[in-house]
């Protein structure tokens, strides 16, 4: 094969000017076998090749081109982009992850009959969803060649990479009260990816700190009376945040494989997960998690309609709609049902296209555990912006703040109604009933990180 990429017009149809673009590929009409059988055979051929090379290289698949020398593990083969370039030539896109957790999109070119192929070239095409090159056609002989791309930015799609710094303002107004009441407000905590400094707590009502043990959350606890109706409280933070990628961690506790009240496991969730995985049920947790991630993207619609916003996996399963809480609750229920530890977190996304102003509500996300690491995912954002589906599998951008972790949060003192489902906005209880608290998030970006 001529590695100046002098390939036929069929490659244009297969690649759509750039490999792994979000569109369907036509199959070679001259192929004698059925498309499904061919696709399965080509996919298996790639997996067998990767497995063989992985066994020969101490558990890693080596990828080398003019710019990279990487040790990788398989995440998935893009079956939607498997293509026949001719009777004995094939093309595929494969997602592989290196030891640092970066996800690379690698172009595979193969020769031979399905089931007996040789990989003749591998070239790194994308890093965390960002392409290194595209394809361009030579007008004279109609052949195709690669064209390097300048480093692109995802800012227009809401992503700040690297690091971000901002002040975050959390304000609320006590609603009208008829009797005594209690209120809990989450307090953001520092960790390896966010440095949090509370720079102001403006409150005419006294409070005391509370710690939640299972997930390590912190709260401010208020005892209220009718005289507190209408009073305003503001908490201000200074935040330095780093982009979050996969990070090493010990084997997680059993709570991350357990059921929650609105996020159960087993039963139909196990059935759905196993059906979505198919033969991948025998693969690694990393491969399985990607398959479940793709299942959620393909089968749910982001829609604030009906009984959304509770993180109810059953509602998500029935309606196939919801906001970020339904997307990630459904994913966690599926993952835990096949033995993949997973967890829930909530906070707010900081706008990337301006430097101050209001924030349109909370945002939540998830992480799963595989290969000794916690892997961040944001499936609802990947569903909105399909160009970032690879980025959000293993990445959370720098422009966000995490306020709390976990589900069914138990506090002492806690609400009479029982554990708190999850919390970003204040939880106020009067007479055993939750009362909504008018709340606002806003921010101001800091120029120096």
Structural contact between residues 404 and 217, judged by C-beta atoms closer than 8 angstroms: yes
Q: What is the pLDDT of residue 75?
A: 86
Q: Bigger pLDDT: 222 or 65?
A: 222
Is a pLDDT exceeding 90 seen at residue 250? yes
Is a pLDDT exceeding 80 seen at residue 239? yes
DSSP symbols for 177-222:
-SS-EEEEEEE----SSEEEEEEEEE-SS--EEEEETTTTEEEEEE
Confidence of residue 134 (pLDDT cuts 50, 70, 90): low
> CA 302, CA 326: separation in Å to the nearest integer?
9
Cα distances (angstroms) measured from residue 287 to each of 2, 278, 298, 342, 413: 33, 12, 17, 14, 42
The neighbour count for residue 40, using CB atoms within 10 Å, is 16
Sign of the CA dihedral running 354, 356, 361, 367: positive
Structural contact between residues 201 and 235, judged by C-beta atoms closer than 8 angstroms: yes
Name the CATH architecture for the domain at 158-449.
Roll (3.10)
Closest CA to 396 of 161, 164, 167, 216: 161
Is a pLDDT exceeding 80 seen at residue 287? yes
Stretch(es) of the chain classified as CATH 3.10.620.30: 158-449
Of 7-11, 52-56, 351-355, the poorest mean pLDDT is in 7-11
- Mean pLDDT of the 205-231 span: 98
Q: Bigger pLDDT: 131 or 381?
A: 381
- Give the CATH fold of the 9-152 domain: Nuclear Transport Factor 2; Chain: A, (3.10.450)
Q: What is the pLDDT of residue 80?
A: 62
Q: Give pLDDT tens digits for 86-126.
A: 667 777 788 888 887 888 888 887 787 756 777 777 878 78
> CA 412, CA 408: separation in Å to the nearest integer?
13
Confidence of residue 161 (pLDDT cuts 50, 70, 90): very high
Structural contact between residues 184 and 210, judged by C-beta atoms closer than 8 angstroms: yes
Is a pLDDT exceeding 70 seen at residue 411? yes
- Mean pLDDT of the 300-308 span: 90
Place of tokens 């953001």: 188
Stretch(es) of the chain classified as CATH 3.10.450: 9-152
């Amino acid at each position: 094969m001529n590695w100046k990429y002098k390939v036929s017009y069929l490659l244009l149809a297969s690649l759509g000017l750039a490999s792994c673009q979000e569109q369907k590929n036509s199959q070679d009409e001259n192929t004698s076998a059925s498309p499904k059988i061919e696709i399965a055979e080509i996919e298996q051929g790639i997996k067998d090749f990767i497995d063989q090379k992985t066994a020969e290289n101490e558990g890693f698949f080596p990828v080398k081109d003019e710019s990279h020398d990487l040790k990788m593990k398989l995440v998935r083969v893009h079956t939607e982009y498997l293509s026949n370039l001719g009777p004995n030539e094939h093309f595929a896109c494969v997602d592989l992850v290196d030891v640092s957790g970066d996800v690379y999109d690698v172009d595979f070119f193969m020769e031979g009959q399905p089931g007996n192929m040789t990989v003749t070239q591998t070239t790194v095409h994308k890093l965390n969803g960002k392409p290194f090159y595209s394809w361009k056609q030579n007008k004279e002989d109609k052949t195709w060649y690669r064209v390097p791309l300048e480093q692109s930015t995802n800012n227009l799609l809401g992503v700040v990479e690297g690091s971000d710094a901002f002040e975050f303002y959390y304000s609320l107004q006590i609603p009208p009260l008829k009797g005594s009441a209690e209120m809990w407000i989450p307090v953001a905590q520092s960790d390896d990816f966010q440095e949090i400094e509370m720079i102001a707590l403006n409150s005419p009502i006294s409070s005391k700190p509370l710690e939640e043990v299972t997930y390590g959350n912190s709260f401010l606890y208020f005892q209220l009376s009718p005289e507190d109706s209408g009073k305003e409280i503001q908490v201000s933070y200074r935040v330095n945040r780093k982009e979050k990628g996969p990070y090493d961690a010990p084997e997680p506790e059993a709570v991350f494989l357990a059921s929650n009240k609105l996020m159960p496991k087993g039963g139909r969730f196990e059935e759905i997960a196993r059906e979505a995985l198919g033969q991948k049920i025998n693969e690694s947790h990393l491969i399985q998690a990607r398959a479940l991630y793709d299942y959620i993207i393909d089968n749910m619609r982001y829609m604030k309609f009906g009984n959304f916003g509770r993180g109810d996996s059953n509602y998500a399963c029935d309606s196939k709609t919801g906001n970020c809480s339904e997307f990630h609750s459904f994913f966690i229920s599926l993952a835990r049902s096949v033995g993949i530890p997973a967890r829930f977190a909530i906070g707010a996304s900081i706008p990337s296209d301006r430097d101050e102003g209001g924030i349109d509500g909370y945002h939540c996300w998830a992480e799963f555990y595989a290969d000794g690491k916690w892997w961040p995912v944001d499936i609802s954002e990947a569903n909105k912006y399909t160009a970032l589906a690879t980025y959000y599998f293993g990445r959370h951008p720098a422009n966000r703040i995490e306020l709390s972790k976990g589900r069914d949060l138990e506090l002492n003192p806690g609400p009479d109604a029982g554990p708190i489902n999850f919390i970003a906005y204040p939880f106020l209880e009067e007479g055993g009933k939750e009362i909504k608290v008018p709340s606002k998030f806003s921010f101001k970006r800091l120029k120096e990180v």
